[in-house]
Amino acid sequence: MKFWQKFSAVFVVLCMLTIHLPVAAGEGGEPEVTAEAAIIIESTTGRVIWEKNADAHLYPASMTKMMTGILALEKMDMKSAVTYSQYAAYTESSPLGARPGESLVAKDLVTGLLLESDNGAAIALAEKMAGDVTSFAAEMNSKAQQLGMHDTNFVNPNGLTDKDHYSTARDMAKLARYVMKNNDFRKIVGTSARDIYWRNPVGKMYRAENTNKLLGKYDGITGIKTGWTRAAGGCLAVSAKRDGVELIVVLMKADTPDDRFTDGAKLLDYGFEHVKMAKGPAKEKVRHKVWVKGGEQATAYVYPSQDIDYPLINGEDTGKYTLTYDVPNVVDAPLQAGEPVGQLVLRYDGQAVEEVPMISDKVPGGFSVGSWLVGVFEGVLKHI
């Protein structure tokens, strides 16, 4: 072999040793899943860790019930009775088996909705809240817009297939992140099974079991909601928390009902491999002074509602996180302890990634010379 041939061969070998070639899926590279669309987000900030066709319009199936459930928890008295209409009672795939005229307490009905994915329960709740399904769908869509779910349209409360009922993995992740901030919702979807009792007829009950097969089997699992129809394929919104990191995975149109759980576990594994949580400042360290008008004192402090932690994706640097205040310079007394006063904005590399509510200590109303002067010079103080 001539000198240049030997040199070329050695050069090629050295390049192979130094260049980072793509790694096969399952060996540290991209996760390989059957789902047509999927996304992994870090739950505190909503930052995307990985995605696949996350903006494709697909049928969400019973993941729809996340919206029905959260609206019920936010709008209804959970002790009130909900009576089944014929429409609700005879809706397909309603394992609770409630009959027309029977009634359950709202809390039990929401539990059956989210654990057993009962379609009739969704209809009964929709009718109770809005009078009919069409009116309730309008409320669902209004809430979706508030949450930034701009590629979603709901026409029913349960996710049964309709060409005009669609969403995306990204939008469903926004919804999942929102509902998991509600402690009552979170408690229900983290429950493996629960007895549900009828108000009428008295004594009738049903043992509701969670359809999420990862619950109790995947380390750190916390929820959320399954979905399946022939048209939608396997759908799953699932969350898990380890070492201070909580992830949310949404996948749509997996090949089979079981594939959605296999895919979900793979994506959670991938997410936990790529996200770490770094400790940030305690909330007392990032307090912020505001001027008080109409109070017994002229100034007060507001604090973040929680200590600050920094999620780091793929080895990010905590030094690129910055904190800025979106808080009014002047506030009106009185203020109750825990009352929201603006936001603390977390930015990574200049981009806003999370907003943490700033809350006040108790600030009594009244009079002081200093607070009176704040009122006099309010126009100036607001722009300092």
Residues annotated catalytic, as ranges: 62, 65, 117
* Closest CA relative to residue 132, chosen from 142, 121, 144, 123: 123
* Closest CA relative to residue 155, chosen from 145, 144, 164, 147: 164
- Which 8-state DSSP code applies to residue 213? T
Per the CB < 8 A criterion, the answer to whether 306 and 333 are in contact is no
Phi first, then psi, for residue 27 (nearest 5°) are: -125, 30
Helix (H, G, I), strand (E, B) or coil at 316: coil
How far is Cα 208 from Cα 194, in angstroms, rounded to an integer? 5
Helix (H, G, I), strand (E, B) or coil at 9: helix
Encoding tokens for residue 302? 């507001």
Encoding tokens for residue 330? 């002047």
* Closest CA relative to residue 289, chosen from 360, 346, 379: 360
SS percent in the chain: helix, strand, coil, step 5: 35, 30, 35
Neighbours of 337 (CB within 10 A): 9
- The per-type count for the chain, helices as H runs and strands as E runs, is 11, 17
Phi first, then psi, for residue 49 (nearest 5°) are: -95, -40
